[in-house]
């Protein structure tokens, strides 16, 4: 019970932090992306390219190893230090490992995009429109 309410508080805090960003510091963030923002942008481009290659039946053998360090990237509002963030990052990393192992890559690619959605339904919802195209 205690754990549950802690998680709920964290989720609410995340949503509040995100809506604040949209009002005030969005322009600043665009020019000075945090380490985490920069990695997210790289994840978007890599996922786009991976989707394209998979649709052509190609094998993916270039999972950027830096993505495994996702949970240590500094975020604009220190989201990376939050338990909710740390709790959801492994879902993405597990999916990446599947692609790296060259298991069913389409399956693990889909799982990786599902992991983006899981985390972004809690944190900034803005990128969901980008994620939906991946
Ligand atoms: C474990 C949580 C988590 C996962 C998984 C995750 N994100 Fe994010 N994402 C965040 C947080 C938190 C931010 C805000 C970063 C900041 O402002 O420093 C963010 C920011 C972004 C941004 C905005 C970057 C910018 O320009 O500022 C995009 C786009 C994005 N994510 C796309 C994705 C995609 C695509 C995936 C999956 C491949 C993904 N995210 C997976 C938590 C996550």
1 confidence band (pLDDT: 50, 70, 90):
low
- Separation of CA 96 and ligand 1 centre (Å): 15
User: How many angstroms separate the Cα of 37 from the Cα of each of 8, 13, 32, 61, 86?
Assistant: 24, 19, 9, 24, 16
Q: What is the pLDDT of residues 6-46, one digit of tens each?
A: 545 444 445 545 544 444 445 555 568 999 999 999 999 99
User: Which residue's alpha carbon is nearest to atom 3 within ligand 1?
Assistant: 119
- Ligand 1 within 6 A of CB of 82: no
Q: What is the pLDDT of residues 77-133, one digit of tens each?
A: 999 999 999 999 999 999 999 999 998 999 999 999 999 999 999 998 889 999 999
Per-residue pLDDT at 30? 56
9, with CB counted inside 10 A (0-12, 13-18, 19+), is: exposed
Ligand 1 atom at minimum distance from 85 CA: 1
Ligand 1 atom at minimum distance from 130 CA: 29
- Separation of CA 56 and ligand 1 centre (Å): 27
Q: Is the pLDDT of residue 55 over 50?
A: yes
- Separation of CA 106 and ligand 1 centre (Å): 21
Decide if 47 contacts 112 (C-beta within 8 A). Answer: yes
Per-residue pLDDT at 22? 45
- Separation of CA 37 and ligand 1 centre (Å): 6
Q: What is the pLDDT of residues 57-82, one digit of tens each?
A: 999 999 999 999 999 999 999 999 99
Per-residue pLDDT at 23? 42
Nearest to 43 by CA among 103, 114, 113: 113
């Amino acid at each position: 019970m205690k754990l549950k309410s802690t998680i709920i508080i964290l989720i609410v805090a995340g949503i509040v932090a995100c809506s604040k960003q949209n009002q005030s510091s969005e322009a600043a963030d665009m020019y000075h992306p945090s380490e985490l923002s920069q990695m997210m942008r790289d994840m978007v481009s890599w996922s786009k390219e991976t989707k394209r290659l998979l649709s052509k039946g190609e094998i993916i053998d270039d999972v950027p190893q830096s993505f495994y360090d996702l949970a240590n990237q500094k975020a604009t509002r220190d989201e990376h230090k939050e338990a909710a963030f740390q709790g959801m990052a492994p879902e993405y990393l597990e999916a990446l490992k599947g692609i790296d192992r060259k298991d069913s890559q389409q399956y693990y690619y889909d799982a990786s995009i599902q992991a983006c959605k899981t985390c972004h339904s809690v944190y900034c919802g803005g990128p969901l429109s980008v994620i939906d195209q991946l």
